[in-house]
């Protein structure tokens, strides 16, 4: 039995899966371990927005971040069409575009000008008579801006990436997952390169092996809001006066068919252990100001405490401009910074393999003798709801 894959990856979030799928397509014998469930970390908790840099440009950050991320949507769109480096033809879009709801008044108009100047053809103001009806009925006053930016259904993205190579995605027992090298040794598995895409677990593992020289990581806590049933499908940023939206709303379908509004942006920026009530209050305040006629009397609320984990930002901005890749001996420690950046991170990893002349063995080992791992649940499918 072959126990010498070309590459072993630990962590089946978007970073691990995208790279794994790409390696498999290229003929590498890649083996991916997950300690809990596929996608169960930040990836399933994300809003699924494939950023094009528009949001950051609106925030006045026509920066390296806005520029480096702007190349990503095309890669995702190609993958969705079956023409890309990974095959996402079975993945679903949640939305083709989003709206910016910019309130009237001086600051709102300023934001609008910034948007128009910097964003060009992918952004246009929608004439009030062409607004989506629910926006008009919700009493919004200001400018509605169309933004050509995809939102993906993440559970289907995970399936598209994992399913073709499922027998090479296996479970590492939770009790040994903090020491993956010892686990590999116990299984007599030796790989040419070991890649860690375990988000928060990467740094402690690097420390364990004295691989952490020059490595810094940051955690940004969020308490994401959820409400159900969603009044109508909405993918929108409520633009305010600061560089981050007051709220970012995406709509998702729960397993029982209920529509959920998932609330990020300013309303979610709070301690993870803050009460659900705090997100509810912030969201209600935002809705009362932007969509005053919206009737939320019958909705139920929930919240998801979660950390964003990424390389430490060097610049003034709140997150790094690109993914972070840290090298030590035959290990790579990787953070995409954003879901959107998964293709760029995989480029960085493949470049390292090319540089070290680690080429595909074209071997396809059946790893199904190792324990299987299931898919994680979307936050709204495991949420506790409160009135
Ligand atoms: C609330 C929220 C909303 C977001 N929205 C967006 C968005 O709309 N657009 C966007 O571009 N980005 C978004 N992001 C950022 C994006 O989700 C993350 O950057 C991205 O998902 C990180 O992917 P990852 O694979 O590095 O980590 P994760 O998705 O956290 O995956 C890590 C995986 O590794 C596993 N693991 C950990 N340790 C081990 C181990 N030792 N062995 C094996 N497995 C291990 C974990 O169980 C987990 O499954 C959002 C993030 C959050 C938190």
Q: What three-state secondary structure class fits 9?
A: strand
Query: Residues 78, 322, 31, 171: what is their CA dihedral angle, to the nearest 10 degrees?
Result: -110
Euclidean distance between CA atoms 193 and 6, whole angstroms: 7
Q: Supply the DSSP symbol for 342.
A: H
Q: Using one digit for the tens of pLDDT, what is the confidence trace for 237-287?
A: 998 887 789 999 999 999 999 999 999 999 999 998 999 899 999 999 999
- 198 in ligand 1 pocket by Cβ < 6 Å? yes
- 199 in ligand 1 pocket by Cβ < 6 Å? yes
Residue nearest to atom 37 of ligand 1 (CA): 198
| C-alpha closest to that of 350 among 20, 10, 14 | 20
Residue among 199, 222, 318 whose CB has most ligand 1 atoms within 8 A, to mutate: 199
Percent of the chain with pLDDT over 90: 81
> Counting Cβ atoms within 10 Å, is residue 18 exposed (0-12), middle (13-18) or buried (19+)?
buried
Euclidean distance between CA atoms 360 and 233, whole angstroms: 44
Q: What is the DSSP string of 120-167?
A: GGGEEEEPGGGS-HHHHHTT--EEEEEE---EE-HHHHHHHHHGGGGG
pLDDT given for residue 317 in this prediction: 62
Residue nearest to atom 51 of ligand 1 (CA): 46
Alpha-carbon distances of 315 from 71, 176, 200, 203, 266, rounded to whole Å: 21, 36, 21, 21, 21
pLDDT given for residue 122 in this prediction: 75
Atom of ligand 1 nearest to the CA of 306: 53
- 42 in ligand 1 pocket by Cβ < 6 Å? yes
Q: Using one digit for the tens of pLDDT, what is the confidence trace for 126-170?
A: 999 999 999 999 999 999 989 999 999 999 999 999 999 999 999
Q: Which helix (H) or strand (E) holds 65?
A: helix 64-69
98-152+219-308, CATH topology level: D-Amino Acid Oxidase; Chain A, domain 2 (3.30.9)
For residue 351, give every residue at least 6 positions away whose Cβ sits within 8 Å of its Cβ, in sequence order, or none. Answer: none
pLDDT (average), residues 304-312: 95
> Residue 369 corresponds to which tokens in the numbers above?
């003798």
pLDDT given for residue 291 in this prediction: 98
Q: Using one digit for the tens of pLDDT, what is the confidence trace for 12-46?
A: 999 999 999 999 999 999 999 999 999 999 999 99
- 180 in ligand 1 pocket by Cβ < 6 Å? yes
pLDDT given for residue 316 in this prediction: 56
pLDDT given for residue 30 in this prediction: 98
pLDDT given for residue 170 in this prediction: 98
- 108 in ligand 1 pocket by Cβ < 6 Å? no
Q: Do residues 222 and 88 make contact, with C-beta atoms less than 8 angstroms apart?
A: no
Alpha-carbon distances of 259 from 90, 158, 316, rounded to whole Å: 21, 20, 37
Residue among 9, 31, 198, 201 whose CB has most ligand 1 atoms within 8 A, to mutate: 198
Euclidean distance between CA atoms 359 and 192, whole angstroms: 10
> Counting Cβ atoms within 10 Å, is residue 319 exposed (0-12), middle (13-18) or buried (19+)?
middle
pLDDT (average), residues 301-313: 94
Confidence of residue 315 (pLDDT cuts 50, 70, 90): low
For residue 287, give every residue at least 6 positions away whose Cβ sits within 8 Å of its Cβ, in sequence order, or none. Answer: 294, 296
- 170 in ligand 1 pocket by Cβ < 6 Å? no
Please say if the pLDDT value at position 179 is more than 80.
yes
Confidence of residue 104 (pLDDT cuts 50, 70, 90): confident
- 14 in ligand 1 pocket by Cβ < 6 Å? yes
Residue nearest to atom 52 of ligand 1 (CA): 46
**What residues are paired with 154 via a beta bridge?**
none
Residue among 40, 43, 169, 208 whose CB has most ligand 1 atoms within 8 A, to mutate: 43
pLDDT (average), residues 293-316: 91
Query: Does the bond joining 204 to the residue before it have cis omega, within 30 degrees of 0?
Result: no
Q: What is the DSSP string of 25-41?
A: HTT--EEEEESS-BTTT
Count of other CB atoms within 10 angstroms of residue 186? 11
Atom of ligand 1 nearest to the CA of 310: 19
- 179 in ligand 1 pocket by Cβ < 6 Å? no
Residue among 40, 44, 338, 372 whose CB has most ligand 1 atoms within 8 A, to mutate: 338
Euclidean distance between CA atoms 380 and 313, whole angstroms: 30
Over the chain, what is the mean pLDDT? 92
- 202 in ligand 1 pocket by Cβ < 6 Å? no
Q: Using one digit for the tens of pLDDT, what is the confidence trace for 345-373?
A: 999 999 999 999 999 999 999 999 999 99
């Amino acid at each position: 039995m072959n126990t010498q894959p070309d590459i072993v990856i630990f962590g089946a979030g978007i970073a691990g899966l995208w790279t794994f799928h790409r390696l498999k397509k290229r003929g590498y014998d890649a083996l991916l371990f997950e300690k809990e469930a596929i996608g169960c970390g930040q990836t399933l908790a994300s809003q699924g927005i494939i950023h094009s840099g528009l949001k950051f440009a609106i925030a006045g950050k026509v920066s390296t971040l806005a520029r480096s991320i702007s190349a990503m949507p095309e890669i995702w769109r190609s993958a969705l069409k079956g023409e890309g480096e990974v095959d996402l033809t079975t993945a679903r879009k949640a939305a083709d575009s989003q709206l910016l709801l910019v309130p009237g008044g001086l600051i709102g108009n300023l934001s609008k000008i910034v948007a128009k100047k910097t964003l060009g053809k992918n952004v246009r103001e929608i004439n009030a008579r062409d607004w989506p009806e629910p926006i008009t009925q919700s009493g919004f006053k200001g400018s509605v801006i169309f933004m050509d930016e995809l939102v993906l259904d993440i559970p289907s993205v995970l399936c598209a990436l994992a399913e073709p190579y499922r027998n090479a995605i296996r479970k590492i027992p939770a009790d040994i997952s903090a020491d993956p090298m010892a686990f590999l040794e116990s299984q007599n598995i030796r790989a040419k390169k070991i890649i860690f895409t375990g988000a928060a677990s990467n740094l402690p593992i690097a420390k364990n092996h004295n691989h952490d020289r020059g490595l810094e990581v940051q955690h940004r806590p969020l308490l994401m809001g959820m409400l159900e049933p969603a009044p109508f499908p909405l993918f929108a940023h409520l633009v305010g006066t600061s560089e981050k939206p007051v709220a970012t709303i995406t709509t998702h379908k729960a397993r029982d068919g209920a529509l959920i509004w998932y609330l990020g942006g300013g309303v979610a920026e709070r301690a993870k252990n803050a009460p659900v009530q705090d997100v509810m209050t912030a969201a209600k305040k935002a809705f009362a100001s932007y969509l005053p006629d919206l009737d939320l009397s019958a909705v139920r609320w929930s919240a998801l405490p979660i950390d964003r984990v990424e390389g430490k930002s060097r610049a003034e901005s709140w997150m790094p401009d690109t993914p972070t890749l840290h090298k030590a001996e035959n290990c790579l420690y990787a953070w995409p910074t954003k879901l959107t950046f998964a293709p760029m991170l995989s480029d960085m990893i493949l470049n390292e393999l090319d540089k070290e002349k680690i080429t595909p063995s074209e071997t396809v080992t059946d790893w199904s003798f190792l324990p299987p791992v299931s898919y994680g649940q979307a936050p709204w499918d495991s949420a506790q709801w409160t009135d």
